[in-house]
Structure 1
Amino acid sequence: MKPSAPPTFDEASLTPVVATFYQYNLADDRINRFFKRIDIKALKYMQTRFLTYALNGSGINKKIMSMNHRHLGLQDHHFDAVLENLKKALLDHGVDETQVNPILAAAESTRDSMLGRPSHKTNDD
């Protein structure tokens, strides 16, 4: 039986989704090496906050995101794996497909920053 969908996208409703998301990331051989020696509890907290802000229309500091991920050498296929895992976690928690797409779009909007590429938009950097 699937858990019920989060009624709103606040921290409390996103916390279990993020927990499942990181279970998938840690089990995913395409990307799990990036999570070695990382405080997963802190990372889950930051990811939950990021999603909460992104889904509620708050700005995301993409410069800080870029600085924090630059040393990892992430490529598009790594980012794609993360998006796949996020989608799977959202669906596992009963988030409706019509709600999944805006969430993935919010995550996708950080691709260039996460991969250390120049951003095409500067108004939210």
Structure 2
Amino acid sequence: MAPAVPFAISLPSEESFRVLCRAYLTAPDAALTNTDWASSAATSTRTFDRRFRELTGTSPATWRTRARLLASLLLLATESVTMVAGRLGYASPAAFIAAFSRAFGAPPSRFG
């Protein structure tokens, strides 16, 4: 039996972090960095990263990647892999397919 594929993402319990995450889920942006988020939270990058890990169990960059990949699931229902890769800021469809396959254990063509 194949392992269950986790199709959820945790939101931090702390409001300032949760606001950033919800905004990201609304419009995933591959260009957003930890420095951008730390600046929005009025803290240093190192402090932001440490606190985010405490609240979510993962790094901000890993969380954003997962959020983008989860967003791709909805897009794949109506758009090609190439279109989804471009919309979500991947350098190429191959880069998107590799990231997707690592995260979900199957290529995006199985979900489209």
TM tier, shorter chain?
A: 0.3 to 0.5
**Normalising by structure 1, what TM-score?**
0.34
**Normalising by structure 2, what TM-score?**
0.36
Relative contact order, higher structure (CA 8 A, sep 6+): 1
